[in-house]
Amino acid sequence: MAILKWDEKYSVNISLIDEQHKVLLKMINDFYDSIQSKSNNELIGELIRKMNDYVKFHFSTEEKMFQDYNYVEYYNHKKEHDEFIDKVTDLDRRFREGKIIVSFEITNFLKKWVIDHILKSDKKYSLHFTKMGLN
């Protein structure tokens, strides 16, 4: 069961970024489904690592655009990215060390962070980039 569904209100009007955001939402849904179905730890660990890798890829895409198009909020936005990567990396490490049990609470954190980040921080760059001709 999907806990996140793409809605046009999440769109930043840049197709590449919207597609990457859709992948992130799917990854969170897959993560939720694996917990709900009580999947084994190996599968859950793989999903955490994939999400960690994908957010790094996605954030690097955005950050390159920030630099290429002189986005004035680059450093503030990058700081949010870095903090999220640190949290997901720590989650992965603690899970592999057996110090944390993945739960719906973690899924809700991921869901809330991604949606809040898109609706607040990412929406700020949408107008800047569309004025620069990106879509």
Question: How many CB atoms neighbour CB 133 within 10 A?
Answer: 7
**Per-residue pLDDT, 36:** 80
Give the C-alpha separation, 9 to 44, whole Å. Answer: 29
pLDDT more than 90, % of the chain:
56
The domain locations on the chain are 14-131
pTM: 0.90
- In this predicted structure, the answer to whether residue 11 has a pLDDT above a threshold of 90 is yes
Amino acid (one-letter) located at 109? F
Per-residue model confidence as pLDDT tens digits over 92-108? 888 888 887 767 778 88
DSSP-based helix, strand, coil % in the chain, nearest 5: 75, 0, 25
Fold classified for 14-131: Four Helix Bundle (Hemerythrin (Met), subunit A) (1.20.120)
Per-residue model confidence as pLDDT tens digits over 17-59? 999 999 999 999 998 888 888 777 788 888 888 989 999 999 9
